[in-house]
Structure 1
Amino acid sequence: MPRLPTRPTLPSRPIRHLSAATDAARVVAGRLAPGLARAPLSFAGWSTAEFRSYAASPSRSATPQRRAGRDAVTRVNAATGNIPIEAALLARAIADTAPPVGVEPNPTLWDVLERYLPDCLSAFEVSSRRAGRESAEQLLIAQLRLLHSVALNVEQAEAEHNERDLQIQDRFLKERFASLTPGELDLTVRPPATASIRALDAAGKTRAKAAPTEGRAYLDAEADPVVLFRRQSPGPWELGLRLALPRRSPVTLGVVEESTTGAMQFTHRAGRRVFTQRRATGFRAAQVDLTLAVRLSSPRRFLVYAEGLSGREPTDTVLFLRADTRSQAELATTLANHPRAPLTVIASGYETTDGLIVRNESILFPDLRAACDGYGYRRITWLDRHSPVV
C-alpha cells in the first residue's frame, strides 16, 4: 500500500508573536463587536503619582485610588480662564486640605470637597447667566472664602482631635446650606461675616509659603505644592527655568502664558538627543540641563510643561524655577514618556497683588492642546494637537 505524503513540519514560531496575534484578534473582535472592545485607558488629567502607582501594579487592570476633591480640582483647572484668579486659588487651597490618598477624610471635610465645592462652581455657571458676571464672581469668591475657612477649621480640629470644633463646623455647614439641592447653590445672599470665618489675606487663602530670599523652596505636588515669589521691583517677571535630566533624554520644555489683555504667548526649547553638554555635578551619572529664560511682561497666569519621548521608562526629574537673582523653587516631577501621556504640566503660575504664586501641578496629558484645554487656555487656534498658530 503506497504511503500517503506527510505534511511538512512547520517551524515553531517564537512566543513573542503571540502578543501580536492577540492584538490583531482584539482588533478584529472590536470591529465585529464594538461593544465588547475596551478603549485604551486615558491618562489625561492623572497626577504623576497616580501614574507611577498604576505602572507599579502587577496587573494594571484597575485605576489607582484618587485623592478626595480630585474631580473638583480638574473642574477648577478647566474653568480657570472663566473665573477670577482669586476664586481659582481659593478653590485649589480648599482641595489642598484633603488628606493623602488612602486616608479617609472627615465627613465634614468630605462634604466640602465632594459636594459644596463642585456646587459652588455649578452655581457660578448658572448665576453668571442669570444675574450678571460681575455679581456672580463676587458671590463665588465670598462662598469660596467661607468654604476655605471651614476647611481650615476642620483641618485644625482634626489635628487637635477636637471633636467639639468638628461638630460646630459640621453644624454650621448644614445650617448655612440647609435649603440647597445638588448643583443649585444659593448665591443670592452673601455669607455672614461671623467669628467662625477667618479673615483671609492673599498668602493665607492660597496656603502659599513665601520663597526664601536666598536658598530654595521645595514643592511637593501632593503635600506642599505652593510658593509665593514676592515682587522685588516693579516691571516684568524674568523667569529662569532649568530642568535636570539624564543624558540622552530628548525633552521639550515650554511655557504657555496668558496676559492680562487675553493674548497668548508660547515659549519653548527642545533638548537634543546628542551633543548636549554634560553638567559637572561630581557624581557618576551623566546629568544635563535643559534651560529656558522667559520674560513675563504682564501675565495673568501661565503654565510650564515638559514633553518627553514616548516609549522610554518614566523619568523622575526636578524643575528649578528662579524668579529673581536669589529666590528659587524646586518642583519635583515625573515625565511619564508614555505614548498616551508624554506631556507633563509641571507648574502653574498666577500673578497677584502680593507677587507670583507658583504651584507644582505634575499632571499628565497626551499633547499640548489637551494640556491647554485642561487648564482653560481656550483662546488658541491650532494647526494640530501639538502646534498652535503663533
Structure 2
Amino acid sequence: MTSSDGDMSRAVPVDADVPFLLGELGVDPLAGEARTEAVVVTDISPREAAAGSDGERTARLRELTARICRGLTALGPEGWTRMEAVFALTVAAEAGYVGFVDDQERVARVEPPGDVLAALREHRALSAADGDGPWWRLLIGADAQGAVELLPDAGEDPFPDDQLFEPEVYREDLRVFPRRRLPVWLAAYVWHDGRQVRTPRQAAAAARSASAPPTPMSGLPDLPALWGRWAVIAAAFLAIGSPRGPGVAPALAWYEDEWRSGSSLFVLPDGRAVLSGGVSEAPELDAAYNIGGALPDLYAGAPVWVADPVLDPRSRAGLLSFCYWWTGDRWYRGGAESDPGPALPAVHGAAAAAAALADLLETKVPPVEAISNLIGAAEARRVRRQDLAAVFADPDHDLDSAYYQLIIAGVTVD
C-alpha cells in the first residue's frame, strides 16, 4: 500500500525476488510495523453494494474471496508453508500486512498488489449488508496445501495500535456507512473528544465553582481493608507464578481483567485516595456514545486533588465509568451510582478475598483459617512471612516474590 505522499511501506515490492528473513510472525502481524495510510476512493458505493439480490451479492463475495486469496498466495516465495495477512480498511485510510513463513519460522513480507486491494475494498463494501456496517479489519490465513480462512473483524476487541486510525477516519467511514451502534471502546475513541480529561487546572476551576456537594457512598470497604485485600490477592498470584493478577506498588494498585474492565487505586498523603476505572461495555457509556446521552458527571463535587495524575488511564480514552475518592474516613462519588464490580479484584469483602485465594490454591481442602488470618493481618498491616507460608506451603510456591509484594505494599511488620 502507499502512504498519502506516495511512498511505499517497508514491504518488499511484489515484483522482487522475495527472500525469507529471520523473525517471527506474531499474533498481531502489523504490530511494530510502520502504519501505512492512504486517502482512497471506495470503488463501490453503499447504494451499489445494496443493489442486486442476496444471491448475487453472495456469489460476488465468493468470487472476490477467491480472487483475494489467489492474488495473495501467488506472492509466496519458494518454500513457504503458511501465510498470514491483515488488512484494516476504511473509506479514508487503509493499512495492510502480508507475511509468509517457511518451515524454519523465517518470515518474508510482501506488498499486496493493486488488484488485490481493489478486491478487498469491494469485498468490504459488499459485506455491509451482512450486519451493522462493513468489516473494519479482515484477517486472512492460508497454508501451502490450499487451506484458507477469512475472519472479518467488526471491532468487538480493540485494534492493535498500528491498525488504529485517527478518529476522523472512522467518522468519515460512518458518514458513508452509517451504523446503529459501535463497540463502546471504538465509540469512545471516535466521540469522547477529551470530555473525561481532568487536568489539575480544570480540577481547580471545577472545585472553585462547585455548586453541589459530593455524594457519600456505601458498598466499598474502608480504604485500609481495600488496600490490604488488594495486596494479598496480588501477592497470591505471584506466589503461584501467574502474571495475570492485580498489581500493587507503593501508593498505587491496579487491576485488569481479561474482558477489558479494570481500575487504579492511588493512595495520597493525609489519608486520601482515588479509585477509578471502567467496566467494559458499561451501559452508561454505551448510552452516551451510541445514543447521544450525556456522559455521567463522575467528578461532580470532587476535590481539587482528583485530577488526571491520579485517575485511571481510561479517563484519557473516554472509558471511565466510575470515580470515587476517600477522605475523612469515607468514600464519595459524583454523578449517578455505577457498579464497579467487574473492574475490581475480589476486595468487596473478606469472604470474597478468601474465596479468591482458595481458588488460586486449587486444593481440595484449602487452609481456610490460615487464609482468613493472612487477610486480617494485611488489613491491619501486620503480615509476617509465616502468615504467608501457612497459606502457600507448596515447595513450588514463590514466597519470596509474594512477600516482597506485601513489603512494598506496606502491609508487613518488616
Structure having greater relative contact order (Cα 8 Å, sep ≥ 6) = 1
**What TM-score do you get using the length of structure 2 for normalisation?**
0.23
**What TM-score do you get using the length of structure 1 for normalisation?**
0.24
More strand by share: 1
Structure with max Cα Rg: 2
